Amino acid sequence: MRIGILTGGGDAPGLNACIRAAVARAEDLGWEAIGIRRGWAGLLENDCFPLSWPFVEKIVSLGGTVLETSRTNPFKREGDEERIFENFQKIKLDALIAIGGDDTLTVAHKLAQRGLPVVGVPKTMDNDVPLTDYTIGYDTAVNISTEAIDRLHTTAASHRRLMVVEVMGRDAGWVAIASGLAGGAHLILIPEVPYDLEEVAQFLIDRKSRGNTYSLIVVSEAIHPKDGTEPFGYEKREVDAFGHVRLGGVGHIFAELLERKTGMEARATVLGHLIRSGPPTPFDRNLGTHLALKAIDLVQEKKWDHMAALKGTDYTSVNLGDVLSQTKRVPLEFYNRIKLFFR
Ligand code: F6P
């Protein structure tokens, strides 16, 4: 067997542990592993190289992806889909492991439906891939965000300020809710629950009148106002090959508006790409490792169009079609439950 491995979409800590484990297990089975550079772009451009244990041995603690990544969509330009199949033959691959979030997995699913022997591994710091408890990169993002929030409390308190902390997560508020709760935020805003600016301002004014000298709010990058208007500046933003608008920066605008409405001095900190950079947590390293081992099982069983997944303490497999027909967002009941701490 000769298997290709690629990573697509935003990078995430734990990807290298996943690549390393796939190579180790492939070699153990007497297979060859081929690294495809920059996600689907590498298959379009025939950009690949042989992977071996000496190359991957020490990358378990390394952030990013040694295969590099891109947001390439081979279903966008005419002829690209055919080129994927041609190059798959040229490289003499028998199977492909595609490690990525919903965009990469959507491409994998479409290609599998057209006959490509491909299996998926869920990766994204957003944690929004359904039918798996966790995705590679989420735990690290929550850890880094929580540490940042812990730190930001002290400067906010010292200056009696309002601190708005913005975290990534796209349309899912998982990172915001987990790090905000763990970091003792006074309010957490997520895309799943639209906000009302007047209500947020009133909440801050009430907090102050109860003797609280400072406030810290965690906001997810794609928060939406209740009145249904476009979030700040969206209409002017670039979109990627999958049609997603580039997010980031809402925290600054939000802080400015709240400063005007409450009279409290405000600052914003956008954590941005920091939370998906650098060494993965032990959890993400082990998650990546086990998901890779499961993905190799799927290749052995020829369970194409499936994804390795974590359910409870079991590494299992799910149909990619089922994964992609659902969404995994923070449920309203979950948000309402932790409102207890918004005080
Ligand atoms: O999907 C992962 C993610 O980190 C999102 O949370 C974020 O909106 C996006 O990627 C940022 O992408 P880029 O690396 O292209 O700026």
**Is the pLDDT confidence value at 232 over 80?**
no
**Ligand 1 atom nearest residue 169's Cα:** 6
Rounded-to-integer distance, Cα 127 and Cα 329, Å = 9
pLDDT exceeds cutoff 90 at 228: no
Q: Is pLDDT above 70 for 154?
A: yes
CA of 169 to the centre of ligand 1 (A): 7
Q: Which residues contact 78 (CB under 8 A, 6 or more apart)?
A: none
Phi, psi torsion values for 246, nearest 5 degrees:
-75, 125
pLDDT in tens, 201-214: 999 999 999 999 99
Q: Quote the pLDDT of residue 230.
A: 74
> Which residue from 187, 192, 176 is spatially nearest to 275, judged by alpha carbons?
176
CATH number of the domain encompassing residue 234: 3.40.50.460
Same domain, 285 and 262: no
> Do 144 and 273 belong together in one domain?
yes
* Pocket flag, ligand 1, residue 104 (CB < 6 Å): no
| 333 within some domain | no
- Smallest Cα–Cα separation from 293: which of 113, 29, 7? 29
pLDDT higher than 80, residue 317? yes
Backbone angles phi, psi at 131, to 5 degrees: 65, 15
How many Å lie between the centroid of ligand 1 and the Cα of residue 283?
A: 21
What is the pLDDT of the chain when averaged over all its residues? Answer: 97
| Confidence bin at 238 (pLDDT 50/70/90) | confident
Is there a single domain that holds both residue 117 and residue 155?
Answer: no
Task: Say whether both 84 and 114 belong to one domain.
Answer: yes
Q: Kindly state if the Cβ of 14 falls inside 6 Å of ligand 1.
A: no
Q: Is residue 149 part of a domain?
A: yes
pLDDT of 132 above 70: yes
Residue 166 is encoded by which pair of tokens? 């913005």
- Mean pLDDT over residues 302-331, rounded? 98
Output the pLDDT for position 313: 97
pLDDT at 137: 98
Closest to 110 (Cα-Cα) out of 324, 318, 291, 327:
324
Band the pLDDT of 235: cuts 50, 70, 90.
low
Contact yes or no for 245/238 (Cβ under 8 A): yes
Q: Is 314 a catalytic residue?
A: no
37 plus 150 within the same structural domain: no
The string of pLDDT tens digits covering residues 70-116 is: 999 999 999 999 999 999 999 999 999 999 999 999 999 999 999 99
Predicted confidence (pLDDT) at residue 153 exceeds the cutoff of 70: yes
Mean pLDDT of 138-160: 98
Domains identified in the chain, total number:
2
The verdict on 142 and 132 lying in the same domain is no
If asked whether residues 122 and 27 sit together in one domain, one would say yes
Q: Is residue 85 located within the same domain as residue 130?
A: yes
| Domain-embedded: residue 331 | no
The verdict on 71 and 193 lying in the same domain is: no
Mean pLDDT of 288-296: 98
> Per the domain annotation, does 236 fall within a domain?
yes
10 pocket-lining for ligand 1 (C-beta < 6 Å): yes
Residues 13 and 132 in one domain: yes
Flag whether 336 is in a domain. no
Q: Are 19 and 51 in contact (CB under 8 A)?
A: yes
Taking CA atoms only, the protein residue closest to ligand 1 atom 6 is 169
Residues 30 and 122 in one domain: yes
- 342 part of a folded domain: no
- The reply to whether ligand 1 has any atom less than 6 angstroms from the CB of 126 is yes
What is the domain range of residue 239?
138-277
**What pLDDT sits at residue 233?**
66
Quick one: pLDDT band at residue 237, thresholds 50, 70, 90? confident
List the CATH number of the domain containing 33: 3.40.50.450
Evaluate: CB of 97 within 6 angstroms of ligand 1: no
Domain identity same for 106 and 175: no
- Please say if the pLDDT value at position 229 is more than 90: no
Q: Which residues contact 146 (CB under 8 A, 6 or more apart)?
A: 178, 179, 182, 183
Q: Are 21 and 289 in contact (CB under 8 A)?
A: yes
Q: Hey, which of 69, 103, 125, 245 would you mutate to test ligand 1's pocket, going by the most ligand atoms within 8 Å of its Cβ?
A: 125
Is residue 335 assigned to a domain? no
Q: Is-contact 51 18, C-beta < 8 A?
A: no
pLDDT in tens, 265-285: 999 999 999 999 999 999 999
Residue 338 falls within a domain, yes or no?
A: no
Query: Residue 42: how many CB atoms within 10 A of its CB?
Result: 26
The minimum-distance atom of ligand 1 relative to the CA of 126 is 6
Whole-angstrom Cα distance, residue 294 to residue 290?
6
